[in-house]
Structure 1
């Protein structure tokens, strides 16, 4: 133990003789270790947010969505495309499939809302009363849609939609243009975190730019055909009866079986595959696999930084061996063995990499506060510079990344320090003593 302590003390003293060089060598390991922890933390944050969004869909839910097919003989020469779920599909699902607790339909389209000289390009959602709880929405003022509102021209505005139309005014009881008709505002929802696209199955969604009307009102007042004017002043459009049906089952064990029945039922009555059946619990498994692959990729990228740092360590240690050739010869002449020389130079290398690794871990643990500080600073300078999804992201330190980064940093020092140490140990003592 005493011999080991003397070796470590000697190694530290030798490094302190060249503080700048030793610091630059440790800097490469510091950057690599910090990079491992930071990249994994950001990846864990993104993955955690995605899994939260999937869980919000409900483990017992099955999402059936209308999807515009790539090609169709009926739509090939038409500017108005007809596709998607039908009201008959909703009726068939409810009537024929056992074990279903709820089947909630929804219709949505882009629509410009106007009041006086202000307008908002919003997503108009025709929905039922259950839509509020299903999407974790909360009422800020007023009320949500009720059964007695069916067929009436009433609307609930999302937070940013209300702000764009009324700024800081209370929108309750006010009239707004929805398309070509007036609607009365009966409520406003609280801000809700935007959701990112999940696995290519569900699109990104900003709930704060929505406007909600009764599904029956959507059908009566707007209809299934929605037309839009293109840049060439030509009308294009779509005919869609339902945009989505959210099916809830009584038992999570029946989700896969029910989804398969729904898919076969839709396939029987649809000529083209203009629908998608999404099972949230399958998305969770997919998200877990993606998370593992993403973390492996990030660790490889960060490992490259440690590799570069290790090459720097080896380069400096080789230069140190050359500079200390005479010292090595003296130590060998007074009885030091080759293993003692190897031990000394490996100790110096491990001190460098260990110091860089520990400092890198400390900096890596500051990932969350630094990320929030940079985000706040950028927002203060330019409020619209960052996309909304950045404000929902929070880095999550993975404990395993700390151990892995330290292991890699020390392993890098051991691997890249072994050659310089062996080169020093294999020197001929007589030739080393003659070195000037």
Structure 2
């Protein structure tokens, strides 16, 4: 057996000979690691919950390209006389440029007042004048009737498609509104379909591009790009910028390209800050546990001075004794981290139902492999750090004096 293996074996045998002593020395590590695991799992759960909430209210796969109608001169917003007005040909060209990675549509938005004939109750909604390509690009799903057709756009038909939430407001439940007439911004339109919007309860009215309800003074048409995957959004944004420069020149101020990725990033940073602050606080408990391990090892060295002297006199080198006590320290820290991980996981399982009941929020813990790895590495690092001095002290005992020690 090599000297290294012998040192490891002696260290582990010593721990096995006094299990109660070993268990008590791990308590500080156990409490610290359990707290760290609980905090990191809580942070991961909060981040996941926040992301789910953002996804339910905004479309993370959506990129919007809007022409800027003003420019800033000497700190004053001045109207652009030559701002770009996107046409359907732009949407088709951009769609060809992006290929199967995204769906592109042209849309024009403004606020709208919606009423049912014979009813004076006014409902607010977002009016989206668009083309047939918008339905797949919006992420919405048709649940009744039909969507805007090519003939609607070409012939300028006065038809609208309502979001499900708005349809429920305008018609009695179960009666249906498809086939009826509604008044949008003072103009009569026939309801030909109902869609479920990807953004939940938002009231939306879809209409063919160019309908009278849009009025004269309105926002310019914008391009909407729906990425096939959330991960593709940054790359697609760069490709959209390149397409704009190739088609309209290198004027960076002519367009505004917006995504909702900043919401997720903002949430991620807030949760990361929470993890860092709370992790630092709980890390103090691990450090205290490390101090406890160091004290236990120092007491153990004092009690085993004669044993150490006999081993040195038998031919063991200083590095062998050093390795023996480092193994004891790391083993104590490792065992404490394993117990702490289990305790932290159990604590989170107990906490989640209580949090749900108190807040009425569908919260889930985010226990992950990375949490286990961080906790293990932190505990082992503490074991090495606080075991180094006792190990060094044991390895520097003089053999002759240690053997005579009573």
TM-score above 0.5, yes or no: yes
* TM-score, L = length of structure 2: 0.65
Provide, for residues 93-126 of structure 1, a one-character-per-residue CA deviation record: whole Å limited to 9, x for no partner: 7689986878631011233444557655432211
Question: Residue 312 of structure 1 aligns with which residue?
Answer: 288
Q: For 1:402 and 1:310, locate their aligned partners in 2 and report how far apart those are by CA, in whole Å.
A: 15
Matches within 5 A, 1:25-424: 25-36=29-40, 39=43, 56-57=61-62, 64-67=65-68, 69=70, 71=72, 76=77, 85-87=84-86, 90-91=88-89, 104-114=105-115, 116=119, 120-150=123-153, 151-166=156-171, 168-173=173-178, 174-190=180-196, 192=198, 206=199, 208-218=201-211, 220-225=212-217, 239-244=218-223, 246=225, 259-267=241-249, 273-277=253-257, 304=280, 307-321=283-297, 327-329=303-305, 331-332=307-308, 346-347=326-327, 349-359=329-339, 361-362=341-342, 376-377=356-357, 380=360, 399=369, 402-423=372-393
Deviation at 1:254, TM superposition (A): 11
Q: For 1:23 and 1:165, locate their aligned partners in 2 and report how far apart those are by CA, in whole Å.
A: 64
Q: For 1:346 and 1:167, locate their aligned partners in 2 and report how far apart those are by CA, in whole Å.
A: 76
Q: For 2:70 and 2:309, locate their aligned partners in 1 and report how far apart those are by CA, in whole Å.
A: 83
Change (3 A) 1:426 1:304: farther
Q: For 1:398 and 1:224, locate their aligned partners in 2 and report how far apart those are by CA, in whole Å.
A: 55
Change (3 A) 1:331 1:175: farther
Structure 2: stretches of 5+ with no match in the other structure: 1-5
Question: Residue 23 of structure 1 aligns with which residue?
Answer: 27
Q: For 2:20 and 2:311, locate their aligned partners in 1 and report how far apart those are by CA, in whole Å.
A: 21
Structure 1: stretches of 5+ with no match in the other structure: 193-205, 226-238, 381-385
SS of the counterpart of 1:185?
strand
Number of equivalenced pairs: 378
Contact 1:11–1:345, Cα closer than 8 Å, also in 2? no
* TM-score, L = length of structure 1: 0.62
Contact 1:328–1:424, Cα closer than 8 Å, also in 2? no
Deviation at 1:312, TM superposition (A): 0.9
Q: For 1:368 and 1:287, locate their aligned partners in 2 and report how far apart those are by CA, in whole Å.
A: 27
Contact 1:342–1:424, Cα closer than 8 Å, also in 2? yes
Contact 1:113–1:176, Cα closer than 8 Å, also in 2? yes
Q: For 2:346 and 2:83, locate their aligned partners in 1 and report how far apart those are by CA, in whole Å.
A: 49
Change (3 A) 1:346 1:26: farther
Provide, for residues 218-257 of structure 1, a one-character-per-residue CA deviation record: whole Å limited to 9, x for no partner: 4x222241xxxxxxxxxxxxx4231335599xxx999977
Provide, for residues 14-47 of structure 1, a one-character-per-residue CA deviation record: whole Å limited to 9, x for no partner: 134x4xx743432112222454566467668878
Q: For 1:161 and 1:371, locate their aligned partners in 2 and report how far apart those are by CA, in whole Å.
A: 39
SS of the counterpart of 2:303?
helix
Change (3 A) 1:33 1:92: closer
Provide, for residues 149-178 of structure 1, a one-character-per-residue CA deviation record: whole Å limited to 9, x for no partner: 443443322233334555744442354443
Q: Provide the aligned C-alpha RMSD in A.
A: 5.5
Deviation at 1:297, TM superposition (A): 7.7
Given the alignment, which residue of 7, 10, 13 partners 1:3? Answer: 10
Q: For 2:45 and 2:323, locate their aligned partners in 1 and report how far apart those are by CA, in whole Å.
A: 36
Question: Residue 12 of structure 1 aligns with which residue?
Answer: 19
Change (3 A) 1:106 1:40: same
259-268 vs 338-347, greater mean Cα deviation: 338-347
Question: Residue 3 of structure 2 aligns with which residue?
Answer: none
SS of the counterpart of 1:145?
coil
Change (3 A) 1:259 1:344: closer
Change (3 A) 1:43 1:363: farther
Provide, for residues 350-384 of structure 1, a one-character-per-residue CA deviation record: whole Å limited to 9, x for no partner: 3443234334545777899889857754664xxxx
Deviation at 1:9, TM superposition (A): 0.9
Q: For 1:333 and 1:406, locate their aligned partners in 2 and report how far apart those are by CA, in whole Å.
A: 33
Contact 1:313–1:349, Cα closer than 8 Å, also in 2? no
Change (3 A) 1:242 1:320: same
Change (3 A) 1:322 1:262: closer
Q: For 1:11 and 1:339, locate their aligned partners in 2 and report how far apart those are by CA, in whole Å.
A: 24
Q: For 1:371 and 1:159, locate their aligned partners in 2 and report how far apart those are by CA, in whole Å.
A: 37
Change (3 A) 1:149 1:289: closer
Question: Residue 200 of structure 1 aligns with which residue?
Answer: none
Contact 1:158–1:188, Cα closer than 8 Å, also in 2? yes
